[in-house]
């Protein structure tokens, strides 16, 4: 059941807003109109402060959407689909359909949000400077200064290495690249996230409540509790998964035989398959001398034995685009989540250097059957 209001779509991604944002928006407007703007730009009509407060709330929500759109855009560029963006009590969240298949993509996706917040902060700061030079509205100037500061805070706070914040995901990507194990990296990042959450909780109790700033203390206390629960959940999920689920699928790939010319006969293909009993595909070169297609073992059976010496394999070749692709560093869990378990499929194992081999669902299922036996 949907728990938020759908606002529309940006970059093809649905945007929604949770009811908790309305409460935050009202409290933020009151704070801007009665505290922040009067202190930045004193001696203005109350109506000017309230008008500026409404603009500030809109700018704040746009900033949250911009932060999540940064994640979404880079995620889509790295082959990760985005289900939706939702604004809720503690900010915004871009719901990704699956994880990045390698550490570099994970790092780029996580870093894109804070980077977008810093871009918004710079634009708001430059606009404030321009208004100051033109001796424009002090209320608008104060609003832009506040919006710039809010986006700096949004970027910096998200860079804390507390999983599942952006900084925690960047830390996980770094640890993942170093160890080659996403599960181990997740557990380490989630443990650090729990420690930082406890530090935040202690700071809320020790620093803010004794000073009488109960509102800030309560808000930071709630944020610390949320971070602790989220990090704890991620830590448990990673701990409950068998280690084999984090194995890179490159370890399970089947090597491809040496490629054949498209003019080679089916009889030559048959000879290659006899010397490579585990091979299911044989690569076929294109006009440029690169691997451009594959011929399956099953295709040989469709040609009568008497004709195999005269039929060229190009008539049986299937283009590479016909098969799904996986990265050799992608985990077994991520691939199974994307391509499925219990049904037959083949996927090309591809990295930046080209096709490394093929991945068979049968081989993956055998490994999972042993792990969950």
Please check whether residue 65 is in contact with residue 87, taking contact to mean a CB–CB distance below 8 angstroms. Answer: yes
> Which has the closest alpha carbon to 99: 88, 91, 109, 87?
109
345 CB burial (10 A radius; 0-12, 13-18, 19+): middle
Tell me the two tokens of residue 117: 């917040």
Tell me the two tokens of residue 145: 């200064």
Strands in 281-285's sheet, in edge-to-edge order, are 281-285, 291-296, 318-319
Q: Where in the sequence numbering do the catalytic residues fall?
A: 68
Please check whether residue 92 is in contact with residue 15, taking contact to mean a CB–CB distance below 8 angstroms. Answer: no
Tell me the two tokens of residue 79: 């082959």
Angstrom distances, CA of residue 151 to CA of 119, 140, 169: 9, 17, 19
Please check whether residue 190 is in contact with residue 230, taking contact to mean a CB–CB distance below 8 angstroms. Answer: no
Backbone angles phi, psi at 337, to 5 degrees: -65, -30
Rounded Cα distance between 159 and 361, Å, is: 38
3-class secondary-structure state, position 14: strand
Listed as own residue / partner, the contacts of 36-40 with beta carbons closer than 8 Å and 24 or more positions apart are 36/142, 36/146, 37/139, 37/142, 37/143, 37/146, 40/138, 40/141, 40/142, 40/145, 40/146
169 CB burial (10 A radius; 0-12, 13-18, 19+): buried
Rounded Cα distance between 309 and 269, Å, is: 10
């Amino acid at each position: 059941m949907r728990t938020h209001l759908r606002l529309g779509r940006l970059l093809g991604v649905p945007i929604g807003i949770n009811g908790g944002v309305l409460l935050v928006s009202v409290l933020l407007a009151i704070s801007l109109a009665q505290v922040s703007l009067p202190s930045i730009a004193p001696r203005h009509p109350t109506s000017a402060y309230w008008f500026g407060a409404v603009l500030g709330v809109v700018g704040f929500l746009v900033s949250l959407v911009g932060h999540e759109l940064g994640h979404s855009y880079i995620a889509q560029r790295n082959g990760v689909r985005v289900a939706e963006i939702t604004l809720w009590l503690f900010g915004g969240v871009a719901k990704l359909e699956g994880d990045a298949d390698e550490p570099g993509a994970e790092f780029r996706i996580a870093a894109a949000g804070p980077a977008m917040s810093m871009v918004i902060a710079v634009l708001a700061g430059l606009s404030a400077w321009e208004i100051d030079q033109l001796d424009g509205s002090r209320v608008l100037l104060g609003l832009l200064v506040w919006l710039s500061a809010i986006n700096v805070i949004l970027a910096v706070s998200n860079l804390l290495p507390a999983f599942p914040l952006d900084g925690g995901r960047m830390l996980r990507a770094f640890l993942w690249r170093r160890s080659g194990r996403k599960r181990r990296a997740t557990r380490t990042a989630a443990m650090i996230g729990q420690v930082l959450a406890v530090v935040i909780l202690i700071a809320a109790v020790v620093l803010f409540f004794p000073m009488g700033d109960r509102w800030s203390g309560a808000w930071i206390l709630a944020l610390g509790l949320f971070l602790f629960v989220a990090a704890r959940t991620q830590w448990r999920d990673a701990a409950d998964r068998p280690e084999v689920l984090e194995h890179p699928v490159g370890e399970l790939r089947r090597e491809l035989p040496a490629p054949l010319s498209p003019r080679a006969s089916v009889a030559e293909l048959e000879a290659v398959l006899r010397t490579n009993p585990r091979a299911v595909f044989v690569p076929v070169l294109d006009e440029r001398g690169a691997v451009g297609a594959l011929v399956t073992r099953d295709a040989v059976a469709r040609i009568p034995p008497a004709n195999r010496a005269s039929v060229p394999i190009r008539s049986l070749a299937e283009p590479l685009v016909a098969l799904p692709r996986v990265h050799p560093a992608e985990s077994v869990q991520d691939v199974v989540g994307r391509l499925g378990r219990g049904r037959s499929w083949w996927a090309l194992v591809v990295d930046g250097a080209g096709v490394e081999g093929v991945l068979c669902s049968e081989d993956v299922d055998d490994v999972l059957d042993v792990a969950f036996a």
